[in-house]
Amino acid sequence: MKRFCLATLIVALPWVWTLAGPAGEEPSSAKSRVCPVDGEEITAECRVEIVGLRLYACSEECLKKIADKGFITRQLSGKLRSEPEQIPVNRTRELRAEDVLADMVPIEDGEFVRRSRHYFQRGPEPVSGDSYKVQISAFHIDKHEVTNGDYCKFLNAGNAGYWTPWYPGIKRDEDGRFTPVQPDWAKLPVGCVNHYQARAYAQWAGKRLPTEAEWEFAAAGKEGRTYPWGDEEPGETRANYGPRFGGRKPVGSFPAGRTPEGVFDLAGNIGEWCADYYDEDYYRKGPKDTLVKDPQGPESGSLRVHRVGCQCKRSTPTDLRPNARCASSPLRSSACLGFRCARSQE
C-alpha cells in the first residue's frame, strides 16, 4: 500500500484536541470512527498508514481520496475531529541509561524569568505579557538535533510506517532499508517530520520531546541570555540563518553558537518541536508573586509549539532569541521543522 507524507499545515484548526496517550498506544477497539471524506461511520477495516498515522475510510473509493496528496494537504486538517491514531512504535531493543544519555547534555535545575515581551510567528513587533519566574527541574537535552542518520536507525528498527516518502533527505532502498539520500546528508538535521513522528522517535529512543519551558531554559539559562551563547550579536559564526543561509548544515557546524552548557544549534538551522499544546494566554499570563514549577503547557489545543529555528534567508537575529515562539498544526510536515529530545533526570 502506498504511503504519503502529510504536507505543511499551519493554520489554526476550528476545534480542540485533548492530550493523547503515548505515541503508538493502541486505541480502544470500541472507538467509533467517521470517514474524513464523506462523514459516514466506518464499519470496515479500510485504512492507510501515512507518516506515522493510521487514517480510516468507509470505502476503498474514499481510501483512495484520503491517500491523494491534494486531500492531505488541503482538506484533511478540516476533517479530523480528534487526534489521529498513531502506528504502534516498535521498541524491541533494550535501552541502557548510559547509551540513552551518551549524546545528551545535563541541565541543572534552576529558575529563569519569562520576559514581559516575546516574539511570535516571526512577527516584527514583540507580544506583550506578564513577566514571571519559572522553575525547572533537572533534565537532559540532546546535544544536537536528531539527524537523518538517527532517523534512519529508527525507521530500520521496524518503524517503516514513520517514513515521509517525499522528504528529499531519506530514501528507501530496494531491500527496504532507509538511508540518507547522500552519505554526507547523514549529519543534517532531519526535516519533514510532524509532531507525531517526532514524539514516536523520542519514545523509541527512550526519551521525550522537551517542554517549551525546558527548551527555553536550555537556550536562555538561569541568567536569561539574549541568545543561546550569550549576549553577543550572532555575526557569521554562531548560527545558520539570514542572507548567508544556503540550506541546512550538519549539526554542530557552529560551535561558537553553542550554549555554555554545551548544547548546539538552539538558534538557526532548523525549527524544533516542543511537547506543549499552544495557547497564547498560557504563556503570556503568569502570576506575579508565585513561582511556576515545571509548566507542561495547556491540557488541550489544536496547535503544538515549536521554536523558530529560522532556516531561511529572511530570518533576522530576533528569530534566534530564546523567547521567539511559533505554533503549527501537529500535522505540519516541513523541511524547516525538526526536533531534538529530552529526558527527565532520574
Give pLDDT tens digits along the chain (346 positions): 333 333 333 333 334 444 444 444 444 333 568 888 888 888 777 888 878 988 888 988 888 888 765 676 566 667 776 778 899 999 877 899 999 999 999 999 999 988 776 666 555 666 667 888 999 999 999 999 999 999 999 999 999 999 988 899 999 999 999 999 999 999 999 999 999 999 999 999 999 999 999 999 999 999 999 999 999 999 889 999 877 777 889 999 999 999 999 999 999 899 999 999 998 888 888 877 789 999 999 999 888 999 976 556 677 888 888 988 889 888 888 888 999 999 999 7
Whether residue 254 sits in one domain with residue 211: yes
Whether residue 105 sits in one domain with residue 214: yes
Whether residue 110 sits in one domain with residue 24: no
Q: How many domains does the chain have?
A: 2
In-domain check, residue 221? yes
In-domain check, residue 259? yes
In-domain check, residue 340? yes
In-domain check, residue 3? no
Whether residue 106 sits in one domain with residue 253: yes
| Domain of residue 57, residue span | 17-86
Residue ending a domain, choose from 66, 86, 106: 86
How many C-beta atoms surround the C-beta of residue 235 within 10 A? Answer: 10
